[in-house]
């Protein structure tokens, strides 16, 4: 910060001389003049932290000078030194000139005058620093707003590109399906790939959120009902758990939903109950769902049945794909068939991802 400047105005030359001697080591650059007109000229050329003026001066008195200073240099701290102490005149000076301090003559230079100057300079510096901080804050806020606008614009552009990708991809898959319409098995697998791919695109650009096992069950149940699979699996929505996960919930739901579809494709007999459980051991979290009920035995035993072969291919494709997708959230998925029950486990350290 540059050196503070203080201006003293008094038409009594002996007072100015006394101040000049007494303020030599005060720590500020001091200016002295015996008239208000010259003081204004000095103020045009210099930034003064404090001005200290007498009230009774020829041509332009102290009150007129202070009013003009207030208008032209509002940041400069204004102080009065005067032996003119009648209350009405003092109040007029304080109110109209916006005076920081009134120093009555005579004063004690060391005990009264110099401390008053220090106080005025300190006030000026604090006010200037506050203005600079406010200006810097405004600049930073403007910068952050511009960054936010740019980020939002990029995000909107990315979302638009994803939507275009969905349309183009859908068109490509539809065209391929038409070309392969005479090959039922290949066309069926192509539809599965399309379903998986489009489902994954729908999980992109979503926020990471905190969720519990109840939210998983509710979302999965809604998806199954919406797609007409409630005649295959009934999802029992669990109670909320103390264990909570954090991550891309849309991607979690995508993995759970398509693993359920794989259960349907391996052949479930009638309606089966799906139950959730969630456990945590050290940093490993395991979300498991159990499908209670036997697989369709007739379907399982018909090894030569082409429909059975196709369903098993679809189930293999689904699980291979889901295993790869699960890696992106530090998880892994596993399917087990034990007697009449089918178990799906999804585990990883995604609980603590923040």
Asked if 49 contacts 120 with a C-beta cutoff of 8 angstroms, the reply is yes
Pick the CATH number of 207-352 from 3.30.565.10, 3.30.9.10, 3.30.70.260, 3.40.50.1820: 3.30.565.10
Asked if 281 contacts 351 with a C-beta cutoff of 8 angstroms, the reply is no
Report the Cα 247 to chain-centroid distance in Å: 17
The pLDDT tens digits for 288-319 are 666 655 445 544 444 445 555 666 677 677 77
Of all residues in the chain, what percent carry a pLDDT higher than 70? 71
Q: What is the DSSP letter of 343?
A: E
E-only strand ranges, the chain = 5-9, 29-33, 50-53, 77-82, 101-104, 208-211, 233-235, 245-248, 272-281, 284-292, 331-338, 341-348
Q: Under 8 Å CB-to-CB from 216, ≥6 apart: which residues?
A: 252, 253, 256, 276, 287
Q: What is the DSSP letter of 350?
A: G
The pLDDT tens digits for 158-216 are 777 777 777 766 676 676 666 666 677 777 777 777 777 877 777 776 777 888 778 87
Comparing 316 with 138, the larger pLDDT belongs to 138
Measured distance CA(100)–CA(166) in Å, rounded: 69
Measured distance CA(86)–CA(53) in Å, rounded: 17
List the domain boundaries for the chain.
5-138, 207-352
Looking at the domain 5-138, which fold is it?
Answer: Rossmann fold (3.40.50)
Tokens at residue 88, please? 């009405």
Phi, psi for 26 (deg, rounded to 5): -75, -20
Asked if 168 contacts 126 with a C-beta cutoff of 8 angstroms, the reply is no
């Amino acid at each position: 910060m540059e050196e503070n400047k203080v201006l003293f105005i008094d038409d009594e030359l002996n007072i100015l001389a006394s101040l000049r001697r007494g303020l030599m080591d005060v720590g500020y650059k001091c200016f002295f003049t015996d008239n208000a007109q010259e003081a204004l000229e000095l103020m045009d050329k210099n930034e003064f932290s404090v001005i200290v003026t007498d009230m009774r001066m020829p041509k332009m008195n102290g009150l007129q000078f202070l009013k003009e200073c207030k208008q032209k240099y509002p940041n400069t701290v204004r102080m009065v030194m005067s032996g003119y102490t009648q209350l009405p005149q003092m109040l007029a000076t304080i109110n109209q000139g916006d005076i920081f301090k009134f120093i009555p003559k005579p004063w004690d230079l060391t005990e009264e005058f110099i401390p008053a100057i220090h106080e005025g300079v300190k006030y000026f510096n604090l006010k200037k620093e506050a203005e600079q901080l406010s200006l810097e804050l405004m600049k930073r806020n403007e910068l952050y707003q511009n960054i936010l606008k740019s980020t939002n614009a990029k995000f909107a552009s990315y979302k638009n590109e994803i939507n275009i990708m969905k349309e183009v991809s859908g068109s490509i898959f539809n065209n391929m399906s038409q070309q392969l319409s005479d090959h039922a098995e290949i066309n069926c697998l192509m539809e599965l790939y399309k379903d998986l791919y489009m489902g994954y695109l729908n999980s992109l650009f979503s926020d990471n959120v905190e969720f519990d096992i109840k939210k998983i069950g509710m979302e999965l149940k809604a998806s199954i009902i919406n797609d007409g699979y409630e005649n295959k699996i009934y999802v029992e929505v669990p109670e909320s758990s103390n264990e909570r996960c954090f991550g891309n919930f849309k991607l979690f739901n995508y993995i759970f939903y398509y693993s359920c579809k794989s259960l349907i494709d391996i052949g479930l007999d009638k309606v089966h109950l799906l139950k959730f459980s969630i456990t945590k051991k050290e940093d490993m979290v395991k979300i498991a769902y159990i499908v209670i009920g036997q697989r369709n035995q007739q379907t399982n035993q018909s090894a030569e049945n082409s429909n059975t072969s196709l369903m098993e291919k679809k189930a293999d494709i689904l699980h291979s794909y889901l295993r790869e997708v699960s890696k992106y959230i530090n998880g892994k998925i596993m399917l087990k068939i034990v007697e009449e029950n089918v178990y799906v486990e999804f585990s990883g350290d995604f609980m603590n991802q923040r």
